[in-house]
A and B are shown apart, each in its own frame.
Chain A
Amino acid sequence: MDFRDTPDEAQFRATLRQWLTDSLPAGWSERTPTPGRWDEAHSREWSRKLYDAGYVGLTWPKEYGGGGAPHTYQGIFLEETARIGAPDHIGGIGLGMAGPTIVAWGSDEQKKRYLPPLLAGEEIWCQGFSEPGSGSDLAGARTRAELDGDEWVVNGQKVWSSYAHIADWCILVVRTDPSAAKHAGLSYLLVDMHAPGVEVRPLRQITGDPEFNEVFFTDVRVPRESMLGQPGEGWNVAMTTLLHERGTLGFALTAFLERQVRSLIRLARHVGADDPVIRDQIAQQWIDLQALRFTNYRSLTALQKTGVPGPEGSVAKLHWSETNQRLTKLALSLQGLGSQLDGEGGVWDGFWQYQQLRSRGNTIEAGTSEVLRNIIAERVVGLPRSR
């Protein structure tokens, strides 16, 4: 057991820290957080910088443009970027979900075609899993794809698709065999978002921001070979995507929560935190952050030793989402009636107001807390299925 960096890791960390300081505007880490309406052009530019410096796809195979480094390096990358508050890479869905699934299931040709532009941030990916009639129940997907000659013809509707409005590609779960049993009738397509018949409509969330989209597919023609796995294997392929979403996501969640805790401490110093009850609650958020961090380390060690994330990894997203909800409510409570101002004149121009509202989605997106508790109870603890 040793939590210190190896000499190589320490070297990597020091180089990265220097690079971040040099590459971000002067005084970046001291700036006040703002609601920061997302700026696509800046995000693309930053993503390109990260790529050129070799910090994108650190753990991916070298032959497809990755760095071939152990998982700890990705962890160090996320810790350091969180520490300084660096912006996120624009291709989060591609890097976290589409990419690892293509690495696991794709043909050589597919890997060569899709992975390099994904890493470079030249092609953005989105996810087409949830539908109006199937949210948590992914296997109930009804968007269908029928073979017509050498093309799949796709018809249906997806929802809650982040980045779809700027995406070039979509990982799409479709029903290719309506006569097969629920899970067995699914397939996994890679769909060109610029193809005729794809329509994206933004969905405004309770924050007022259109971060998600609805995506409509009307007679969209997809080449027969643009599929991961065989027809009928879609469920297994999708599980790979979700495993990565819920597995390696741990570091990103820790990094996010670390930023939140740092901002909370900054806020508390700003407004003055003498109240022992408030101090108690702030300390609890800090403890909850450390619990997430070290649970993630434990999961990573299991992953490195055995190749699969340990059972402890399944708690990360559940714990993270509920912690962030408590933390953001606490941050509002430090602001009195001023907590109701969500723009100019409010604290940090409404940063916390945005964060608090946004946090309500945390226990819904990427597996609701109810689904995650089912997974823990059934697959980890071994209780009988609830349905």
Chain B
Amino acid sequence: MDFAFSAEQELLRSSVRDYLRDRFGDERVVALAESDAGWDPASWRELVDMGWLDPSLGLLEHAVIAEESAYALLPAPWFSTVALAWPLLDDALRDEPVTVALGGVVAVGPGGLTGTVSLVPDLGSVSHVIVRGDDDALYAVETAAASVQVRSTMDRTRRLGELTLSSTPARRLDAGPASLALVRRRALALAACEAVGVAQRALDLAAAYAKTREQFGRIIGAYQGVSHKVADIFVAVQLGRSLAYWAAWAASEDDPQADVAASAAKAAATEGAVLACEYAIQVHGGIGFTYEHILHRYYKRAQWLEAFEGYGREHRAAIAAAILDSEGAVA
């Protein structure tokens, strides 16, 4: 039994962290979030050059990058490409920013694909989107050839868009719909890892503020009404982290518990991240409620993650079915 990342994985973590600190400080992230595009397309090349899209990376390496990039609130379609599209990518899509339209099916006709799929993550910042045809096959579509409507999204660093295809040319992928189970499992585990990064940042912000802000002549972190909220954020971070890493490991090893692990991690870590941000906002008082402060951006990411691929209750329903409806399935 060994619950630790390898030395190489920890090295990767440091290099990711260093890069993000140098290139994606809060000020730049805010500027990008407020821009029309929502990100800097030129930064994609940097991520590729650093090896973040290297085919040799496994899910545990992706877990490390997901946690750290969420900590920095990196605005880039890396999450959609790696947490969603990854198992479907072929050589032609390698190194491209790609998303997956999970929320619908489009008609396959002689002239191409036709139909509309809404709520597609990062649709405005990818070169390709993978859709599911009514023949049950998966297709890659160039977003430039489609109609893309990016919707105003609470989390401005991860916007949702509506894809409309009308006899749009598409390329059929070798990967079939059976791969979508793996896509979902990975997506849940990596969403949980992102949630851990978000919650950790909320903890760091809350702790830093509680250590410096003074009221009634004392540092507010000395008041238990404040410090116990910070302690509760710490607890949420640790519990979420344990589940998220477990889920990532289980998915990477095709463990028999991979699906319940993914559901447990996704539900608990994203709800934990929402709580962490809410408590952090409360600890900050009025300043935490302003648009100027960075916190609301993490709060919005936490809520995005909580809503992504099913709120907690959907995952708990799946877990309940696994532990209550079949004999001897308890672990």
Give residues in A with beta carbon < 8 Å to B: 1-6, 9, 72, 75, 261-262, 265, 268-269, 273, 276, 279-280, 282-284, 286-287, 290-292, 294-295, 297-298, 300-302, 305, 311-312, 315, 318-319, 370, 372-374, 376-378, 380-386
Question: Is A294 touching B3 in the complex (CB atoms < 8 A)?
Answer: yes
CB proximity to A under 8 Å, residues B187-215: 203, 207, 210-211
Residue in A6, A315, A318, A370 with the greatest tally of chain B CB atoms within 10 Å = A315
Contacting residues, chain A, for B5 (C-beta < 8 A): 1
Question: Is B238 touching A373 in the complex (CB atoms < 8 A)?
Answer: no
Q: Is B276 an interface residue (CB 8 A)?
A: no
Contacting residues, chain A, for B227 (C-beta < 8 A): 373-374, 377-378, 383, 386
In the complex, which of the residues B4, B203, B223, B234 contacts A386, with contact meaning CB atoms closer than 8 Å? Answer: B223
Contacting residues, chain A, for B241 (C-beta < 8 A): 298, 312
In the complex, which of the residues A5, A261, A286, A381 contacts B264, with contact meaning CB atoms closer than 8 Å? Answer: A286
Question: Is B242 touching A382 in the complex (CB atoms < 8 A)?
Answer: no
Shortest Cβ gap from B189 to chain A (Å) = 13
Cβ contacts A to B, 13 pairs, < 8 Å:
A1-B245, A283-B317, A287-B319, A290-B261, A291-B239, A291-B264, A294-B243, A295-B239, A373-B224, A373-B228, A374-B231, A377-B228, A386-B224
Chain B residue, CB-CB nearest to A3: B1
Contacting residues, chain B, for A382 (C-beta < 8 A): 207, 211
Question: Is A287 touching B267 in the complex (CB atoms < 8 A)?
Answer: yes
Question: Is A2 touching B1 in the complex (CB atoms < 8 A)?
Answer: yes
Contacting residues, chain A, for B108 (C-beta < 8 A): none
Question: Is A269 touching B324 in the complex (CB atoms < 8 A)?
Answer: yes
Interface size counted on chain B using CB atoms at 8 A: 46
Question: Is B224 touching A283 in the complex (CB atoms < 8 A)?
Answer: no
Shortest Cβ gap from A158 to chain B (Å) = 27
Shortest Cβ gap from A67 to chain B (Å) = 17
Contacting residues, chain B, for A283 (C-beta < 8 A): 315-317, 319-320, 323
Distance A122 CA – B219 CA, assembled complex (angstroms) = 52
User: Can you list the 7 inter-chain pairs with the closest CB atoms, starting with the nearest?
Assistant: A383-B221, A283-B316, A377-B227, A294-B242, A279-B320, A373-B231, A283-B319
Question: Is A265 touching B323 in the complex (CB atoms < 8 A)?
Answer: yes
Q: Would you give the 0/1 interface string for B228-267, flagging 1 where the beta carbon is closer than 8 Å to chain A? A: 1011101100111111011001000001000001001001
In the complex, which of the residues B223, B230, B268, B315 contacts A291, with contact meaning CB atoms closer than 8 Å? Answer: B268
Shortest Cβ gap from A250 to chain B (Å) = 11
Known: A5-B1, A287-B319, A291-B268. A384 touches B219 (CB 8 A): yes
Q: Is B57 an interface residue (CB 8 A)?
A: no
Question: Is A298 touching B3 in the complex (CB atoms < 8 A)?
Answer: yes
Question: Is A386 touching B246 in the complex (CB atoms < 8 A)?
Answer: no
Shortest Cβ gap from B32 to chain A (Å) = 30
Contacting residues, chain A, for B210 (C-beta < 8 A): 383
Question: Is A1 touching B3 in the complex (CB atoms < 8 A)?
Answer: yes
Contacting residues, chain A, for B36 (C-beta < 8 A): none
Known: A283-B323, A376-B231, A386-B222. A262 touches B242 (CB 8 A): no
Question: Is A282 touching B330 in the complex (CB atoms < 8 A)?
Answer: no
Known: A268-B324, A284-B316, A291-B243. A381 touches B231 (CB 8 A): yes
Question: Is A75 touching B1 in the complex (CB atoms < 8 A)?
Answer: yes
Q: Is B22 an interface residue (CB 8 A)?
A: no
Contacting residues, chain B, for A383 (C-beta < 8 A): 207, 210-211, 219, 221-222, 227, 230
Shortest Cβ gap from B96 to chain A (Å) = 30
Chain B residue, CB-CB nearest to A268: B324
Question: Is B268 touching A287 in the complex (CB atoms < 8 A)?
Answer: yes
Distance A279 CA – B307 CA, assembled complex (angstroms) = 20
15 more A-B residue pairs beyond the given contacts A6-B1, A279-B317, A302-B4, with a C-beta to C-beta distance below 8 A: A9-B1, A269-B324, A286-B323, A290-B246, A297-B1, A298-B4, A300-B3, A305-B4, A373-B224, A373-B227, A374-B231, A377-B227, A377-B230, A381-B203, A381-B231
Contacting residues, chain A, for B255 (C-beta < 8 A): 3
Q: Is B6 an interface residue (CB 8 A)?
A: yes
In the complex, which of the residues A1, A302, A370 contacts B224, with contact meaning CB atoms closer than 8 Å? Answer: A370
Distance A381 CA – B230 CA, assembled complex (angstroms) = 8
In the complex, which of the residues B234, B242, B249, B316 contacts A376, with contact meaning CB atoms closer than 8 Å? Answer: B234
Contacting residues, chain B, for A4 (C-beta < 8 A): 1
Contacting residues, chain B, for A262 (C-beta < 8 A): 330
Chain A residue, CB-CB nearest to B321: A279
Distance A6 CA – B1 CA, assembled complex (angstroms) = 7
Distance A300 CA – B261 CA, assembled complex (angstroms) = 20
Distance A269 CA – B313 CA, assembled complex (angstroms) = 20
Chain B residue, CB-CB nearest to A71: B1
Distance A319 CA – B228 CA, assembled complex (angstroms) = 14
Shortest Cβ gap from B322 to chain A (Å) = 9
Q: Is B100 an interface residue (CB 8 A)?
A: no
Question: Is B239 touching A315 in the complex (CB atoms < 8 A)?
Answer: yes
Question: Is B60 touching A381 in the complex (CB atoms < 8 A)?
Answer: no
Chain B residue, CB-CB nearest to A378: B227
Chain A residue, CB-CB nearest to B235: A315
Contacting residues, chain A, for B60 (C-beta < 8 A): 1
Chain A residue, CB-CB nearest to B233: A381
Q: Would you give the 0/1 interface string for B153-165, flagging 1 where the beta carbon is closer than 8 Å to chain A? A: 0000000000000
Distance A302 CA – B4 CA, assembled complex (angstroms) = 8
Question: Is B2 touching A1 in the complex (CB atoms < 8 A)?
Answer: yes
Contacting residues, chain B, for A1 (C-beta < 8 A): 2-6, 60, 245, 249
In the complex, which of the residues A301, A373, A374, A378 contacts B3, with contact meaning CB atoms closer than 8 Å? Answer: A301
Distance A294 CA – B264 CA, assembled complex (angstroms) = 12
Distance A346 CA – B238 CA, assembled complex (angstroms) = 39
Known: A279-B316, A287-B243. A384 touches B1 (CB 8 A): no
Question: Is A291 touching B320 in the complex (CB atoms < 8 A)?
Answer: no
Chain A residue, CB-CB nearest to B4: A301
Distance A292 CA – B240 CA, assembled complex (angstroms) = 10
Distance A287 CA – B322 CA, assembled complex (angstroms) = 12
Q: Would you give the 0/1 interface string for B268-284, flagging 1 where the beta carbon is closer than 8 Å to chain A? A: 10000000000000000
Question: Is A72 touching B3 in the complex (CB atoms < 8 A)?
Answer: no
Distance A386 CA – B227 CA, assembled complex (angstroms) = 8
Contacting residues, chain B, for A297 (C-beta < 8 A): 1, 3, 242
Contacting residues, chain A, for B324 (C-beta < 8 A): 265, 268-269, 273, 279, 282
Shortest Cβ gap from B242 to chain A (Å) = 4
Contacting residues, chain A, for B316 (C-beta < 8 A): 279-280, 283-284, 287
